[in-house]
Chains A and B, each alone.
Chain A
């Protein structure tokens, strides 16, 4: 009477896969993501309602409107020029420090050939990671104590963080460099330092320069805001004038920042093109 196998409305193999499956990694990924997002919004007590209120929307509008009316007061522009140059110098000197320090740290952090004991590799890599994981702005805040307010702290901060980033990239470039030139010199008993100068460095130099220039583009953006914690340059000026709600000045500073960033991007792009020849 009753069929041996009770049939469902649809055969199971015709059904699409279940939406959630304990073995599906993507499902867990999406689930975790949703949980994280919901928990974030729930615990933060954001006053999003406040920002979309008429009052604060009006304030925001006024604020942004004022930001589009830059001042061109000559005495202010002179100060602005000085700060812009200071920011530019910070990015350049900071990157130069970082490239030097990064290269010095990359040497012990790389295993150059199979027989290289590379004793300091672990320690140096740890140091590079520590330098790298603390952002520039945090370094600047820390360095204020020993270097004082001003661009020097900012420059050092850029240098230290970027040294961590570049050191790691440099070490990888050195480890991946073709071996034959170095092998030929090593076979003749040439010391490691000179093997590096005569064989490895000429091979990896374009790559190192390219990394450094990329980082310079990055550092000009960082240098522009470092002053907010007292690291000198445009950022310091910005936080000062914004603190006093002097919107025309703030607007001029923001424009100077954008121009400077664009200028450095162009310069770096040009330098990389020249190097490829």
Chain B
């Protein structure tokens, strides 16, 4: 397809799909596409959805998207699943819970694999979000498994982040609380009809209270039963409330500024990483350096200095 960016801006869905592919696969035209799309971004509201596997994030996202549609908003969804470290393949299984949205022209769903750590997933996700934003959707969900730092980072790119938990996770909550407590603007206990929902709410409340700092936004703890469509409106209302809150106190601007900064740094990191892979790793130079280092003919510090000098030429 020629002129992918122009087609995206015209509302061509397949062009949006192609743009995300270019970003994801690091095609040569990705940068050019993003350069053209960037001026048209900044309108969509970005919602992060994270939580442990099995919490029902996809089902919840499906229902929330439907609620937004009822309220006249268009929706983009980026659903991220882990890539197998053994094969490099992935089962992208979130879409299956969103089949009813497939034929809604006001919804666009894209699944992505984490593809290991080298690829710079967080900046790819950020760019996919921007492509959807430029395409013109009102609300973008980024859904990811909340384990592992890189995936937590992805969610940090959101304006509002919801952590989804379910009762009966036992000690898991202890294990993940450190990571999730700080990123959650909203906590939703899904499958709230199951035993232990109240206990989980109490535990969460205690942890949030212990968190110490006096914040002007105390993350609310909501209850939902996504597969019965219970508690969905309340979650969307709370998204709105949080949005109004951070818009009112200037936090939204602060967050987005912070995000722009982080994204630029990420992009720079990714580019440097890519440079290093192209010019050092893939062509076998790395092995030569390592041989020399091992033989004490040189040292890693000197090599790095020389690589950096080459790069900056």
Q: Are the chains A and B members of one assembly?
A: no
